[in-house]
Amino acid sequence: MMTTVAADAATPRPVIDLHCHLLPGIDDGPADVDGALALARAHASAGVEVAACTPHVSWEHPNRAPGIAQGVDALRRRLADADVPLRIVTGGEVALTLVAELADDELTGLHLGGGPWLLLEPPLGIPVPHLEGFVADIQERGHRVLVAHPERCVSFHQDPGLLGRLVAQGALAQATVGSVTGAFGRPPQRLVGGWIRDGLVHVMASDAHDVRRRPPGLAEPLRRAGQPDALIDWWCRDVPRAILDGAEPPERPSVPPSTRRRWWRRAGRGASGATPTSGADPASVVRPQRGAG
């Protein structure tokens, strides 16, 4: 379980990254310990105080909770030996397509930081009919669901009301910082922008895999993208801390409308030069980005 994260108004406040591929040699993250240490140092340099190790738990990467726990213990020792100021906790990015095959004890072992929340990855490129029914089944088994980067998943592009229905049934949403900055292209950026406006994003995470192609970074890239500090703190510190602690997420801070308008203008200039309206319908989003989650 987590302890309280210290905040200092005079320095950048530490953040918590609930989705990253830090463990070496078990998925598409770093290949070896040196790569993991480099990635951990990059996390720390980006202001990350705590990182949940969330390797893929999927048909392609058949990781399981005991192996992940052992990997976290081993990396924790290496971080201490190397004086890397990053705390790591267990977790997993659990593929929706595999969940039915995993026992509840296994799923519990994959919860983020030993709390009640499971990071669930819907398929990126394959639409899932009645996805909310699958999520409800998981919830009925006793697991709370944090949906991993829905803005990168085709089901959410095809069904603009899906995320709202999942949130209404108790799920939370984790968006990837790169989606906000445009690293995955315009469609995920537009979709996540609408969800930010509608209050449907609860956590921002890096989904970092390495120090170059998909690097760490939470607060600073979000700040550069024009996101307000109050929301950044909520996405990257307050809600993640509650998730790890098993507490109810704190209420979302209110954001002045002028701040949101400024963000839309900046985001609109970013990729295409066309400024979206604040009422942009996610149904207009096409060609979702594909690639490893």
**Site residues for Fe ion per CB under 5 A:** 93, 207, 293
Distance CA 240, CA 76 (A): 20
Q: Which is nearer to Fe ion, 49 or 207 (CB)?
A: 207
Compare residues 93 and 132 and give the one whose CB is closer to Fe ion: 93
Q: Round to the nearest angstrom and report the end-to-end CA distance of the chain.
A: 26
Q: What DSSP element (H or E) covers 117?
A: strand 117-121
Nearest distance, CB of residue 293 and Fe ion, angstroms: 4
Minimal distance in Å, beta carbon 274 to Fe ion? 29
Which C-beta is closer to Fe ion: that of 46 or that of 276?
46
Shortest separation between residue 8's beta carbon and Fe ion, angstroms: 30
Nearer to Fe ion, 37 or 153 (CB): 153
In DSSP notation, 1-43 reads ---PPP--TTSPPPEEEEEE--STTSSSS-SSHHHHHHHHHHH
Of 120 and 260, nearer to Fe ion (C-beta) is: 120
Q: 168, exposed or middle or buried, with CB in 10 Å at 0-12, 13-18, 19+?
A: exposed
In the complex, the smallest distance separating the C-beta of residue 3 from Fe ion, rounded to whole angstroms, is: 25
29 and 21 in contact (C-beta within 8 Å)? yes
Shortest Cβ 119–Fe ion spacing (Å): 8
- Do 269 and 228 contact (CB within 8 A), yes or no? no
